[in-house]
Chains A and B, each alone.
Chain A
Amino acid sequence: MQSKAEVGDTYLVARAREGYLDAYELLAQRHSAMAYRVALRLCGNHHDAQDLAQEALIAAWQNLDRFRADSSFHTWLYQIVTRRALNKLTRRRDTGSLDLLGDAADPSAEPAAQAERNFAVDAVTDALAALPFAQRAVVVLRHFEGLSYAEVAEVTHSSVPAVRSHLFRARRTLGTKLEEWR
């Protein structure tokens, strides 16, 4: 479909609420990578992340009438993915390894250097997985997704001081774990 880059989310959300499914399809195309990426980093493995991203995008469509116009669809979807990841992990009590590698290996890298980089990435993956969910969520949203403190607070229904407090603790824990790996 052409012109997808020309319209903002606000326009597409409005049309989707009026029943234009292809408007929502554009929104889903635009944000599916983010939903999957955050789900992967929060809940661990590809299959859970794919299910979670799919559920979140469907839930967003089903609840479009509750979407507040003063928010952004992007932020709202972050909220839905994060909340659903928490629910899934709480039900399962699974804090196993997070597979964050995806398909990002650099084929041009020297094998030894690539192996070392993969070890480093694995170390981050394991350190993230060991964090309590609240700390993991703020690290993912702030340092992986690049959200501002205010946006992280909005997504997590928290306050900026609380977000910073979680981040302070999470960074120290991650730093200590990564220092042990070095």
Chain B
Amino acid sequence: MSDPPSDRQAHHLLASATLACGADVDLLLEQVADGLGGDRDAHQRECVHCQAAIEEFSAVWGPVTELAGNPVPAPPGLTAAVMSQIRVLVRDVWYTLQTTNLGVIRIAARTVAALARDAAHTVPGVRVALGRSTHGGLATPAERATFGHHHPHAAVGVLGRTAVVDLAVAISYGDPVHEVARDIQRHVISSLRDNLGLQTITVNVTVDDTLADDGQ
């Protein structure tokens, strides 16, 4: 039998297709790169060539494993930048809350939707709540109500003090759906009326999932 590879022979090993024992170099390197260098089969437990090659490849591949384990967090503000650009791409809707000689107070419908969503979250039994303000149920009434009048800074409608909010919610499995949904409507309407001064509020609730306690 030939001598096993000495130290620093990875270069020589990597230039070969097989070891002296016939083991495939690519498969050994794959084994090491996949983190399985310690999981040796019966042959590898007896073979000095395989043992030396695995040790050598482990040393060579170590920095790759170390680098792969280094955390790379997302830059701060990445998600906010993405959502900001997306909101530019969608047609936004605005409510005019007040028009006086002091000026006009407007609030973006997506802000109304966010407040509605957060209010819905506080209702017992609600596990997830998502608010919608720029599509379907809101955008269409907004356009209809404003006869296509748009805010100058974006393609927006002005809807006065009337709000239509769509909420998609997932609730806890076993809770009475109709009661939770009615609680959501009452709570959201009360919250928007108290916090924003909106007068006529329609809250459409779609319960589209139920979640068990483990989240499934």
Give A residues with C-beta under 8 Å from B.
1-3, 5-7, 11, 15, 18-25, 28-29, 32-33, 35-37, 40-41, 46, 50, 53-54, 57-58, 61-62, 100-104, 117, 120-121, 123-125, 143-144, 164, 167-168, 171-172, 174-176, 178-180, 182
- B residues 26-40 touching A (CB-CB < 8 Å): 26, 29-30, 33
Chain A CB within 8 A of B70 CB: yes
In the complex, A120→B60 CA distance in Å?
10
Shortest A36–chain B CB gap in Å is 5
Give the interface segment out of B76-84, B95-103, B156-164, B189-197.
B76-84
Closest to B133 in A: A21
- B residues 46-84 touching A (CB-CB < 8 Å): 57, 59-68, 70-75, 78-79, 81-83
A171 touches B132 (CB 8 A): no
Q: In the complex, what residues of A have CB within 8 A of residue B133's CB?
A: 21
List of 10 A-B pairs having minimum Cβ-Cβ separation, nearest first = A19-B135, A104-B70, A120-B63, A33-B74, A37-B72, A179-B10, A32-B74, A20-B130, A6-B215, A168-B26
Shortest A139–chain B CB gap in Å is 8
Q: In the complex, what residues of B have CB within 8 A of residue A176's CB?
A: 10-11, 14-15
Shortest B148–chain A CB gap in Å is 20
In the complex, A21→B133 CA distance in Å?
8
B135 touches A18 (CB 8 A): yes
Interface pairs (22), CB distance under 8 Å: A2-B121, A3-B121, A3-B128, A21-B134, A22-B113, A23-B168, A36-B78, A46-B75, A54-B78, A54-B81, A100-B70, A104-B71, A124-B64, A143-B65, A144-B67, A168-B26, A172-B25, A175-B10, A175-B14, A178-B63, A179-B11, A182-B59
Would A175 and B60 be within 8 Å (CB), given that A20-B131, A50-B78 are in contact? Answer: yes
In the complex, A33→B76 CA distance in Å?
10
Q: Is the interface of B mostly helix, strand, loop or mixed?
A: helix
Give B residues with C-beta under 8 Å from A.
8, 10-11, 14-15, 25-26, 29-30, 33, 57, 59-68, 70-75, 78-79, 81-83, 85-87, 89-90, 110, 113-114, 117-118, 121, 127-136, 166, 168, 170, 208-209, 211, 215
In the complex, A174→B61 CA distance in Å?
8
In the complex, A102→B67 CA distance in Å?
10
B78 touches A53 (CB 8 A): yes
In the complex, A57→B11 CA distance in Å?
41
Closest to B170 in A: A7
Closest to A60 in B: B82
A179 touches B78 (CB 8 A): no
A22 touches B117 (CB 8 A): yes
B60 touches A179 (CB 8 A): yes
Q: Give which listed residue, B61, B86, B211, contacts A178 with CB less than 8 A.
A: B61
